[in-house]
């Protein structure tokens, strides 16, 4: 039995036919026709059997599919060079081998290498005599193709440093990009970050959560710890949004005054409830900007802060006593419950844990004035803590950041990357029965708040004038 022989030229010619069917933009109107997907065109021109034989023969002959010297980069080179030649034919008005008319003509080629997602591709770019040929397929000066920039940004968003990315591309693709080139690619998103950080916001957010994570930043030749604060707002429809990211570089009161001023300048006219974790200067800044806002200390943070003083074996019993405090019907009942807890054996054993609640009492008690439906929404900043948990996994391997702007850039990219990956997974599972869908929901941005309708009904009763005209009917 003989084995069918074939050459790489078979697949190249098929791929070139696909490239030649691509529409070349012109000023002339074209008749409309049904659009064909890339997959449909590939199936029409290149059979699965041919691709299977390609993979088998490449493996048998020790030829890598990707990376430097790989078959796919060679295939791309062939397709691109033929496409560039077709562009030059169109530019000159005659094909290679035909008698040239007067005027412009071919003038050899210029070698260059473009980096792609599957490895470096060496090209011979054709030239014309008078230098007027500007190819569209691989424009002059372009050195990267095929989504390599997007790959680099995704790796950066996943927590890899510039040097990590440099080593990864060299090891996996044989692509040798300089440190400066990779840094410039990641810096290209800076304008998007600035636009996002200054975008207009809704006039009213019933609830805003604020929390922080610690990052290391180089400052004046020293590496210092700084707090990166993230604000998540719930709009009147119960949809969560990341409102902004700020790295604290100065004294609390001044810093938070600037943050609140920025939010106000972006259109926020009122916040009903702000939930935070005892950030110095924040309550005063919020009340100075939005005088009627209630600043609420996160209950779960208070529980955790008290637990730091407890032996592990005593935490369950102590937490049971605390539960009577934060589930009390009003402030007087809560104060009685705390005093009773302080008089127990555990309370006397751990006075520092009791003191945590006593110090935060003024900022905790507003929580007790709300009905259960609202309490369930503002009980904890878990909404933002879930986000921070994901972000900590990304930044934990970094030694430090070169600047505050670099922190904001990475955190924004990470949030975007997490949401995009989850959205792609949900799209992949669309149409499957519910019991077979395993994709995670939205992390924060665009997520819905559980129990929001019941909470909004209560908030409308409590603040009818402040919510009037801001709720979509």
Per-residue pLDDT of 359-401, as tens digits, reads 999 989 999 999 999 999 988 766 677 888 888 888 876 778 8
Stronger pLDDT, 232 or 159, i.e. the higher one: 232
The pLDDT, as a whole number, for residue 280 is 83
Per-residue pLDDT of 57-80, as tens digits, reads 777 777 776 767 667 667 666 667
When pLDDT is cut at 50, 70 and 90, the band that residue 463 belongs to is: very high
The pLDDT, as a whole number, for residue 188 is 75
Find out whether 338 and 315 touch, Cβ atoms under 8 Å. no
Per-residue pLDDT of 105-158, as tens digits, reads 888 888 877 776 666 778 788 888 888 888 776 777 666 665 667 777 777 777
Check pLDDT > 60 for residue 339: yes
The pLDDT, as a whole number, for residue 348 is 94
Check pLDDT > 50 for residue 15: no
H or E element: which one contains 257?
Answer: helix 252-265
Span between the terminal Cα atoms of the chain, in Å: 75
Residue 209: give the domain boundaries.
201-408
For residue 211, the tally of other CB atoms under 10 A from its CB is 23
Whether 23 is covered by a domain: the verdict is no
Handedness of CA 419, 425, 426, 428 (dihedral sign): positive
Q: Residue 292: which of 306, 274, 267, 311 has the closest Cα? A: 274
Instruction: Give me the DSSP letters along 317-370.
Output: HHHHHHHHHHT-SSHHHHHHHHHHHHTSHHHHH-HHHHHHHHHTHHHHGGGGGS
Check pLDDT > 60 for residue 229: yes
Whether 251 is covered by a domain: the verdict is yes
The pTM for the full model equals 0.69
Mean pLDDT score, 423-442: 86
Stronger pLDDT, 181 or 33, i.e. the higher one: 181
Check pLDDT > 90 for residue 414: no
Whether 230 is covered by a domain: the verdict is yes
Token pair belonging to 194: 């600035």
The pLDDT, as a whole number, for residue 100 is 62
**Tokens 């400066």 identify what position?**
180
Stronger pLDDT, 84 or 1, i.e. the higher one: 84
Residue 25: Cβ-neighbour burial (10 angstroms; 0-12, 13-18, 19+): exposed
Residue 107: Cβ-neighbour burial (10 angstroms; 0-12, 13-18, 19+): middle
Q: What percent of the chain has pLDDT over 90?
A: 31
Q: Residue 124: which of 71, 88, 70 has the closest Cα? A: 88
What is the CA 302 to chain-centroid distance, rounded?
30
Give the number of domains in the chain: 1
Neighbouring residues of 341: CB distance < 8 A, sequence distance ≥ 6: 318, 321, 322, 324, 325, 347, 354
Whether 450 is covered by a domain: the verdict is no
Per-residue pLDDT of 264-290, as tens digits, reads 999 999 999 999 877 888 889 999 999
Whether 117 is covered by a domain: the verdict is no
Whether 182 is covered by a domain: the verdict is no
Mean confidence (pLDDT) of the chain: 81
The pLDDT, as a whole number, for residue 160 is 75
Whether 240 is covered by a domain: the verdict is yes
For residue 411, the tally of other CB atoms under 10 A from its CB is 24
Mean pLDDT score, 451-460: 94
Stronger pLDDT, 288 or 189, i.e. the higher one: 288
Handedness of CA 287, 289, 290, 293 (dihedral sign): negative
Whether 69 is covered by a domain: the verdict is no
């Amino acid at each position: 039995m003989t084995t069918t022989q074939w050459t790489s030229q078979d697949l190249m010619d098929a791929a070139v036919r696909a490239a030649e069917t691509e529409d070349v933009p012109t000023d002339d109107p074209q008749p409309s026709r049904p659009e064909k997907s890339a997959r449909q065109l590939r199936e029409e021109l290149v059979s699965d059997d041919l691709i299977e034989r390609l993979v088998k023969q490449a493996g048998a002959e020790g030829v890598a599919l990707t990376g430097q010297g790989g078959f796919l980069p060679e295939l791309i080179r062939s397709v691109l060079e033929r496409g560039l030649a077709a562009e030059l034919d169109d530019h000159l008005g005659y094909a290679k081998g035909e008698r040239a008319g007067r005027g412009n003509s071919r003038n050899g080629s210029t070698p260059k290498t473009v980096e792609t997602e599957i490895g470096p591709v060496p090209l011979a770019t054709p030239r014309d005599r008078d230098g007027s040929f500007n190819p569209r397929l691989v424009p002059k000066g372009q050195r990267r193709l095929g989504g390599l920039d997007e790959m680099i940004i995704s790796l950066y968003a996943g927590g890899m440093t510039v040097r990590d990315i440099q080593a990864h591309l060299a090891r996996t693709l044989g692509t040798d990009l300089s440190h400066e080139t990779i840094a410039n690619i990641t810096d290209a998103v800076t304008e998007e970050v600035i636009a996002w950080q200054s975008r207009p916001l809704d006039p009213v957010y019933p609830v805003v959560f604020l929390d922080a994570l610690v990052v290391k930043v180089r400052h004046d030749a020293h590496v210092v710890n700084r707090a990166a604060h993230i604000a998540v707002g719930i709009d009147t429809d119960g949809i969560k949004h990341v409102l902004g990211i700020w790295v604290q570089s100065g004294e609390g009161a001044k810093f938070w005054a600037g943050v609140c001023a920025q939010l106000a300048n972006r259109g926020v006219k009122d916040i009903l409830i702000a939930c935070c974790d005892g950030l110095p200067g924040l309550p005063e800044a919020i009340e100075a900007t939005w005088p009627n806002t209630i600043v609420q200390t996160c209950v779960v943070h208070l529980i955790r802060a008290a637990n730091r003083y407890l032996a592990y074996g005593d935490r369950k019993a102590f937490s049971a006593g605390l539960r009577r405090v934060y589930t009390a019907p009003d402030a007087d009942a809560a104060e009685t419950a705390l005093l009773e807890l302080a008089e127990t054996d555990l309370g006397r054993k751990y006075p520092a844990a009791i003191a945590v609640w006593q110090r935060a009492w003024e900022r905790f008690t507003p929580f007790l004035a709300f009905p259960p439906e609202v309490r369930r929404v503002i009980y904890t900043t878990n909404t933002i803590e879930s986000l921070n948990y994901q972000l900590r996994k990304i930044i934990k391997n970094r030694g430090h950041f070169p600047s505050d702007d670099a922190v904001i850039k990475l955190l924004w990219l990470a949030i975007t990357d997490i949401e995009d990956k989850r959205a792609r997974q949900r799209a992949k599972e669309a149409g499957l029965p519910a019991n077979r869908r395993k994709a995670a929901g939205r992390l924060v941005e665009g997520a819905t708040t559980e129990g929001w309708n019941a909470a909004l009904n209560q908030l409308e009763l409590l603040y009818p004038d402040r919510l009037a005209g801001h709720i979509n009917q």
